[in-house]
Amino acid sequence: MARKEYAFYPGCSSQKGASASNYLTSVESMCKTLDIKMTEIPDWNCCGASISYAEAGELPRHVMNARNFALAEQNLPGQDILATCAACWLGARESKERLEHSDVLMADTNEALKEAGLNIKVIPEVRHMVEVLIEDLGYDELKKPVKKPLEGMKFAGYVGCQTNRPFGIHGESFENPVYLDKLIETVGGEAVPYDQKVTCCGGALAFSEPDKAQAQIRDIIESAYDNGAEMIVTPCPLCQANVEVYQGSINKKYGTKFNIPVLYYSQLMTLAYGGSAKEAALDGNVIRARKLEEFAGR
Amino acid sequence: MADMKTAAYICKGCELGTRLDAAALVKTATKEGKMHLVREHDFLCSAEGVAMIQNDIDNEGVTHAAICACSRRAKTEAFNFPTTAISRGNLREGVIWVRPDTDEARETTQEMAEDYVRMACAEVKAMTQPKGNPNTGGVKTLLVVGGGISGMTAALEAARAGYKVVLVEKTGALGGWTAKLHKRIPTREPFKSPEDNGIADLIAQIEADANIKVYLNATLAKTAGAPGRFKVDIAVESGPTATEDVGAIVQATGFTPYDMNKLPHLGGGQANVVDQAGLEALARAANGGPIKRADGKEVKSVVFVQCAGQRDTTGEHLQYCSGHCCNTSIKQAMYFKDGNPDIDTVVLYTDLRTPGNGEDFYRSAQNKGVIFSKGAVSRVESAGGGCKVKFKDLILNEETEAEADLVVLATGMVPTSGPDLDALAEATRVAEGGDEAAKEQVIQLRSKSVLNLEYRQGPDIPQFKHGFNDSHFICFPYETRRTAIYAAGPVRRPMDTAQAVEDATGAAMKAIQAMENAGLGRAAHPRAGDLSFPTARLEGCTQCKRCTVECPFGAIDEDERRFPLFNESRCRRCGTCMGACPVRVISFENYSVNTVGAQIKAVDIPDEFSEKPRILILACENDAYPALDMAAMNRYEYSAFVRAIPVRCLGSVNTIWITDALNSGFDGVMLMGCKHGEEYQCHFVKGSELGRYRMSKVYDTLKGMNLEEQRLMDLEVAITDIETLPQRINDYAAKIVEMGMSPFKGL
Amino acid sequence: MSDMNQQMAARYKNNFLKEVEAQVEMGEWVKMCMQCGVCAGSCPTNFHPGWEHPPQEIFMMIRAGKREEVLTSPSMWMCTSCYNCYVRCPRKLPITHIMHGLAEYAYQLGVAPKFQPTQHLSKTFWDNCTKTGRVNEVKLTQTLYFRDGLMAGIKQGLAMKDVALGLVKAKRLNLMEALGFGHKCKDIKGIHAMLAKARELEAKRKGRQPA
Amino acid sequence: MTSVVATNQTILVVGGGIAGMTAALEAAETGKNVVLVEKNPYLGGRTAQLYRYFPKMCHPTCGLEINLRRLKANPRIQVYTLAEVTGIEGRKGDYTVNVRLTPRYVNDNCTACGECGKAVEAEVSDAFNYNLGKVKVAYLPHAMAYPQRYVLDPSIVGTPDAERAKAACKYGAVDLDQKEETVSLRAGAIVWATGWQPYDAEKITPYRYGEFPNVITNVEFERLADPHGPTGGKILRPSDGREAKNIAFIQCAGSRDENHLRHCSRFCCMGSLKQTHYVQEAYGDEGKSTIYYIDIRAIDRFEDFYAKVKANPNVSFVKSKVARISQDKDGNPVCWGVDTEGYKRYATTHDLVVLAVGMEPSVKGVDIPAEVMADSSGFIMADPQNAGIFGAGCATNALDVNRAVQSATAAALRAIQVVNKVARAEG
């Protein structure tokens, strides 16, 4: 019997072969150590993300999330929904909030859900993995299993937007959240201070407005370098991808020589807990974190 | 005084005993101060030391005591002997704390201390302890002029405190402008909607209150007398003139809206353009139903133009902001929106000013769909069936226009404060020269008078800025220049009804206080409670009228023989009259030409070969003297050659003190007074200015004595000049040394 | 679509603020703006020269009835959903959602700027994820690249080749998905029925004819 | 044991700032007996911590001197400092109030000679200067502190400094045996004048107060400009002591903001306009001030003052609420935002940023008797039940000094109405 059980909502990008598959792998290893049990919500669907607003309109977006609520409630009663993706978490939480505050929306939503043979009475809590780690376990609990502290390694904790605004992690400030720095320190690493911690990476506009997005990504990486970071750590798949994969084109555009690995907190924790490079899915990084790979080898 | 028994007390605490030769000070007080009783004590302000003094008063019959210890500003609770004349020799802050503790300084420091002992003895002997005059008038009825919300509030609040009130209203009904309001700006949470103007209830309360006597259709024909004994003639339309005895006055005569006909470019005077008062009338006429224009058309769209003829930089219109208009327009926009949300209401503003909880009211208006645009209006023209408002949208940065059935101009408040006394005085001066136009002007100005005071200095209370009867002081909003007469409400300062209620209550408080103190012969602010008062030896008076002209408070009239006629309860005890008198016949019991003159004469002047100049400092007791004290507390040193005497105000400085000082061999005189001019700091209004003006005359005297002008130095000192003041003193001392000793020594 | 545009303008008697309040997600908040400009300053600022119109200006334009200018503006489409404006607004306006809502409305009315890339992304993304209930990243990328025709697509593709290769190497891009071997929901039928209903209800509530 | 002489005809005034002093003085000068309690060791409150007043640029200590003289001359007022009301029982016309007196460790014998201050060594941060500087553990709070008696910081007890202070005092004024005590007194009416506190700037996270040393508050800036402040009146940057010549003033820092204070604090616009004078006074044409604002609220005749400042070429106005502040490599604060008049982006570097923080009522969160009604911002409202407890000054609303004094004068009359009624009833 695991000490914590959750209705797991991995989200599209975390699936096998998808852009954040390494996130999922490392999360699974981490949770194994922490004895967190995650049961995937059967037949869950995409949250629609924030970008679909124009085509989707309002209700369809909420209905997409509502379907997941209904499935979770039906199959995993009493369990909080646990998301690892910042966008999934935000999208689902927004829908929850909106539905709970509007009887009209709620009624329409249930009418639409009926078409899929579903309906919702109570909407489960929607939690982000980071919330669960901090609020349900706490930094002390997270520190206990540390076998190999990541001593002498400097990380820039890149929080970005969607785990931070508008809901954020309880008790954190929008302008200078420190939970990620604390997680880094919990596993023995050093969190460098830098002023682009919550700058937007451009989000989905990395596709549609690459120049503008990449200008922001450049600022983020530059600041991380300037403050002595060897690696960047993030809780968000889109942040991870944007900041990692465009370094090449940014170098072309601005003549920079960026080559900084961008990792998930879950990868660091897996390693600190003694996990292998494989378990931490270090092979999933486009810019390989050599230093960590060696560390894992030791 | 036959039964005068004097005593001097020399304190040895706070290192006075070690830094100074106390025995020598005792000797000085005995031999030179000629005190009947001289005692020293190790710790004079201790219970034991105080008991010693009290015992001398009780059992030795001491009537006059010179306490030579610390500054008069220190240990006031300990050295408090109400029935005894007390002078304070300032040996601590005045001497040892501003002098270095070195052997070479010892001699001059001791000389300084001995002089302060001499001065304290001399001063106290010239003093008598004022007992106060209980016969200055004890009427405890309050006169309130103006029956608007301010006046009615003042009347009711005074009545609630148990005082009788006479309320005079010039129109046929109570209520004033507030009664003309459809509703008023909310005064309580949630600050979301206009609330009832509350006037009916106030009127009912007034009518039910036996302590309040109301005169309608009435004005003041004459106000004679002084606080505690005013006699007012009340002219009642179609009726005999009534006379009332009152003790104090609250002037709550309100305002009139700025005439919008002066704003043709904003459509003032056009059909379909009203001012805020006009809109209130339309709203009342609609009585909850749809608001209609004068031509009967239902208003479907309305534009509010803020700051119409206000915050004007051209000099043509009102320079000031009337404070309430933003909230008022918000309120009026709600008249429309609450009735019919589909009516377009636009407020054009440059700075929206809704202080405090007004912010909630602003938000509520937005929530109700009132549109606020930051725009500068250039023209309002009639177009089609309504108006076209041309303005620059400051956010979208473009010239644009809005159409509306009705335009409301937020014009400002113009106080009903009577004639400008300076203008009147000037006109009167010219008129006395026989100028007919001036005579006309005098009549015309006097016809605007509200109070018709029978005061030498004019029929109304002086105006401050823009015609408002406000106080000049931030800390003292009710510091009036006519004792026991207080302005309240929009006549004092532009304000809304809620503020007017608060203001009227405060004014009533001050008026009640003034009546109570007048009855006891006590002064009003800022020398509150002072029992001393000026008397004149009329035998010596030359009827020069300087005292009557210069009194900042209009306390002195002239009797039929043109002698000064003092109205004690109007007097604020500043001593300006005393300083003004060329023949020195005016004095207070405890502050006179003599109390200061004697101190000057008491100072020991070394001969001219001693290289020890003497510099007299006459320091304003409110700013300069505390600054000197605080410099001492910080141990900032200054010259041992100065001898400082606190004065009530530079205005009380009589030039004889300067000339006496210079004649008796002082080498220099420093005057320290507060800022004068437009932003004057003097709480006796023109005191420091007058003092300085008179000093300018002394320079001629100096020439006559073949003395350098620099022998007299005039410093403007603020209470915060703690560091700079000692430096300025030392610079002056150096200059005097450089100049050489005065030739008048030992003559 | 464009006749729907005229219909709407007519329905609200050219009172654009009222139209926005009724039609745009969170549009009822527009009137609460006090023009402090915090939103404008909070928007990621290296978007030089910035947007054509920042949020607070758009709100002012709405109040000033500049319907055409607002709906055809590219500004709303620049929103990265970073929520900086949202959390800093002293009047608590949900600005991010209002921006999305305005974009959505302009798009539904068919007056949004043509070839606006984010608009295309939005449609592509939604179609992609609702087709099977889950995102097919390869197809998503393809559609994005090839929106302007084959050549442009190849060019784009080449430009992004390194990115793609990197992801493939890292097993984070599965080209097999291109052939339809992607992740899918089981109850696709149910999802489609549910979404069709949702669209119908929303159109009904907002008085828009179904798209 | 302290004993307070008071009856049901006594007026209790809580708070010894300018509002409380005014209420006490106006009542006493009308012949009423007053007990004035103040939690600080001195009277004067926040006005004593201001350098100058708008619009006259005169000095608050001038008015304080007058009020202190009125107080010293008036035997009807009993003053208790280091005193806080802990409970009120009874009703209009007959209250029993508990007041907690914290030890000063210095008794009436003190002559303010300063020997104890010289003798002690330890220092504590200087609350009077908003902790911008330090004071000895035996100190006189400020040059015009009344009562003019030294204070021993509680931390001194049981330390060698305590013995040093005791030994240095020739007058037996240092009394280390003083204990906290609670006295109970009667009153017929109560004036609640507990004033305001500056809004906690750290809560306005985009401005990074507390993190960036060169971001300070308007109240702190008053102390910097004051010749008796921690810098001797020089306007220097906290980070490196360099002269701050290019200064940003950010309006509505906390005010008019539903995330912070809903209300407009009224005084801050005028406060910043005033403070641009300090910059001009200190650096002449080299001193540059920039005011970032939403609406300039220079109400009624204060408009004159605004006009004067606008005419100063060294002062510029930007209609914009600054979105965030960053810090460059030299520790200069950079203001980011958009000038809304015509939409211009800026990222402007300044030497120093002054946050015009708003007013929060001090009563907020403090346990005051149920009879006192506060609005949702914590300001005391006029009580419809017409009880015997009346708010005065900034405890009732966001007010400037002039209006606070007005309000206190009105409150004095309301209190007098109650005790006069009691007096009439008791004949």
Pairing mode of beta strands B255-257, B301-305: unpaired
Residue ranges in B553-667 assigned as alpha helix (H): 576-580, 593-602, 624-633, 655-663
Nearest to B547 by CA among B566, B519, B529, B530: B566
Cβ atoms of A140 and A216 closer than 8 Å: no
Residue C100 has pLDDT above 70, yes or no: yes
Q: What is the pLDDT of residues B172-225, one digit of tens each?
A: 999 999 999 999 999 999 999 999 999 999 999 999 999 999 999 999 999 999
Q: A116–C167: do the CB atoms touch at under 8 Å?
A: no
Torsion over CA: B621, B626, B627, B628 (sign): positive
Domain ranges for chain D? 11-102+180-195+362-425, 115-168, 199-359
- Tell me, rounded to whole angstroms, the distance of Cα B386 from its chain centroid: 49
Query: Is C114 at the interface with chain A, CB within 8 A?
Result: no
Whether omega for the bond prior to residue A193 falls within 30 degrees of 0, making it cis, is no
Q: What is the pLDDT of residues D3-35, one digit of tens each?
A: 788 999 999 999 999 999 999 999 999 999 999
Question: B633-649 burial by CB neighbour count: b if 16+ within 10 A, else e?
Answer: beebebbbbbbbbbbbb
Q: What single DSSP character describes residue D47?
A: G
Cβ atoms of B460 and B442 closer than 8 Å: no
Sort out which chain D residues have CB atoms less than 8 A from A173's CB and list them. Answer: 205
Q: What is the pLDDT of residues D168-186, one digit of tens each?
A: 999 999 999 999 999 999 9
Put simply, the chain A residues between 5 and 34 with a CB less than 8 A from any chain C CB are: 12-13, 15-22
- In angstroms, the CA D378 to CA D197 distance is 12
Pairing mode of beta strands B535-536, B164-168: unpaired
pLDDT confidence of residue A278: 97
**Chain A nearest C-alpha distance from D206 (Å):** 6
Question: Average pLDDT of D343-372?
Answer: 84
Q: D205–A195: do the CB atoms touch at under 8 Å?
A: no
pLDDT confidence of residue D369: 63
Nearest 5°: phi and psi at D253?
A: -80, 90
Q: C34–D294: do the CB atoms touch at under 8 Å?
A: yes
pLDDT confidence of residue C159: 76
Q: What is the pLDDT of residues D154-172, one digit of tens each?
A: 999 999 999 999 999 999 9
Residue ranges in C53-177 assigned as alpha helix (H): 55-63, 67-71, 84-88, 95-109, 117-132, 137-145, 150-159, 161-169
Which residues does B398 contact at the CB level (< 8 Å), separation at least 6? B392
Residue B79 has pLDDT above 60, yes or no: yes
- In angstroms, the CA D37 to CA D18 distance is 13
Q: Which of A76-90, B439-453, C144-158 has the lowest mean pLDDT?
A: C144-158
pLDDT confidence of residue D417: 97
Name the residue among D205, D326, D327 with its Cβ closest to that of A173: D205
Q: A111–C123: do the CB atoms touch at under 8 Å?
A: no
Domains of chain A: 4-129 (1.20.1050.140), 147-297 (3.40.50.11810)
Q: Which of B530-539, C2-11, D276-285 has the lowest mean pLDDT?
A: C2-11
Domain ranges for chain C? 2-112, 117-199
Cα angle B696, B699, B702 (rounded to 5 degrees) comes to 160
- In angstroms, the CA A185 to CA C97 distance is 36
Per-residue pLDDT of chain A (298 residues; tens, 9 = 90+): 457 899 999 999 999 999 999 999 999 999 999 999 999 999 999 999 989 999 999 999 999 999 999 999 999 999 999 999 999 999 999 999 999 999 999 999 999 999 999 999 999 999 999 999 999 999 999 999 999 999 999 999 999 999 999 999 999 999 999 999 999 999 999 999 999 999 999 999 998 989 999 999 999 999 999 999 999 999 999 999 999 999 999 999 999 999 999 999 999 999 999 999 999 999 999 999 999 999 999 8
The CA–CA distances, whole Å, from B172 to B83, B147, B169, B216, D306 equal 53, 10, 7, 5, 41
DSSP-based helix, strand, coil % in chain A, nearest 5: 50, 10, 40
pLDDT confidence of residue C1: 47
pLDDT confidence of residue A192: 97
Banded pLDDT at C157 (limits 50, 70, 90)? confident
Q: D258–C38: do the CB atoms touch at under 8 Å?
A: no
- To the nearest 10°, report the CA torsion of B697, B698, B704, B706: -130
Residue B443 has pLDDT above 70, yes or no: yes
Domains of chain B: 1-129 (3.40.50), 141-254+461-519 (3.50.50.60), 258-412 (3.50.50.60), 605-747 (3.40.50)
Is pLDDT larger for residue C208 or for residue B255? B255
- Tell me, rounded to whole angstroms, the distance of Cα B531 from its chain centroid: 20
Residue B115 has pLDDT above 70, yes or no: yes
Pairing mode of beta strands B64-69, B6-11: parallel
Banded pLDDT at C211 (limits 50, 70, 90)? very low
**ipTM of the prediction:** 0.96
Q: Which of D111, D263, D401 to mutate to test the interface with B (most CBs of B within 10 A)?
A: D111
Is pLDDT larger for residue C154 or for residue C76? C76
Q: B369–C32: do the CB atoms touch at under 8 Å?
A: no
pLDDT confidence of residue C2: 66
Residue A156 has a CB neighbour count (10 Å cut-off) of 30
Q: D205–A176: do the CB atoms touch at under 8 Å?
A: yes
- Place domain D199-359 in its CATH homologous superfamily: FAD/NAD(P)-binding domain (3.50.50.60)
**What share of chain D has pLDDT > 90, as a percent?**
90
Sort out which chain A residues have CB atoms less than 8 A from D327's CB and list them. Answer: 195
Paired tokens of B397: 């940065």
Question: Average pLDDT of B701-711?
Answer: 91
- In angstroms, the CA B323 to CA B256 distance is 15
**Chain A nearest C-alpha distance from D355 (Å):** 17
Nearest to C13 by CA among B511, B300, A22: B300
How many helices and strands (H and E) does chain A possess?
A: 14, 8
- Which contiguous run of DSSP H or E holds residue B642? strand B642-647
User: Is residue B482 exposed (0-12), middle (13-18) or buried (19+ Cβ within 10 Å)?
Assistant: buried
Q: B622–D65: do the CB atoms touch at under 8 Å?
A: yes
Q: Which chains touch D (3 or more CB pairs under 8 A)?
A: A, B, C
Options 1.10.357.10, 3.90.870.10, 3.50.50.60, 3.40.640.10; CATH of D11-102+180-195+362-425: 3.50.50.60
Question: Average pLDDT of D133-141?
Answer: 97
Nearest 5°: phi and psi at B405?
A: -70, -35
Banded pLDDT at D2 (limits 50, 70, 90)? confident
**Chain D nearest C-alpha distance from B169 (Å):** 23
Residue A88 — left, alpha, or beta (φ > 0 → left; ψ -120 to 50 → alpha)? alpha
Amino acid making up residue B416? T
Query: Is A116 at the interface with chain C, CB within 8 A?
Result: yes
Amino acid making up residue A4? K
Task: Give me the total of CB pairs closer than 8 Å, taking one residue from chain C and one from chain D.
Answer: 68
Cβ atoms of B404 and B344 closer than 8 Å: yes
Q: Dump strand ranges (E) for B489-641.
A: 535-536, 556-558, 564-566, 586-587, 615-620
Question: Average pLDDT of B65-88?
Answer: 97
Q: What average pLDDT does chain A have? A: 96
Cβ atoms of B132 and B522 closer than 8 Å: yes
Q: C34–B373: do the CB atoms touch at under 8 Å?
A: no
Nearest 5°: phi and psi at D264?
A: -90, 130
Q: What single DSSP character describes residue C42?
A: H
CATH of span C2-112 = 1.10.1060
Q: What is the pLDDT of residues B10-50, one digit of tens each?
A: 999 999 999 999 999 999 999 999 999 999 999 999 999 99
Cβ atoms of B269 and B251 closer than 8 Å: no
Residue by residue, DSSP assigns B87-114 as EEEE-TTTTGGGS--SHHHHHHHHHHHH
Closest chain C residue to D336, measured at CA: C41
- In angstroms, the CA C106 to CA C209 distance is 15
Whether omega for the bond prior to residue A145 falls within 30 degrees of 0, making it cis, is no
Residue B394 has pLDDT above 80, yes or no: yes
- In angstroms, the CA C122 to CA C129 distance is 11
Residue B308 has pLDDT above 50, yes or no: yes
Q: What is the pLDDT of residues C15-64, one digit of tens each?
A: 999 999 999 999 999 999 999 999 999 998 655 567 889 999 999 999 99
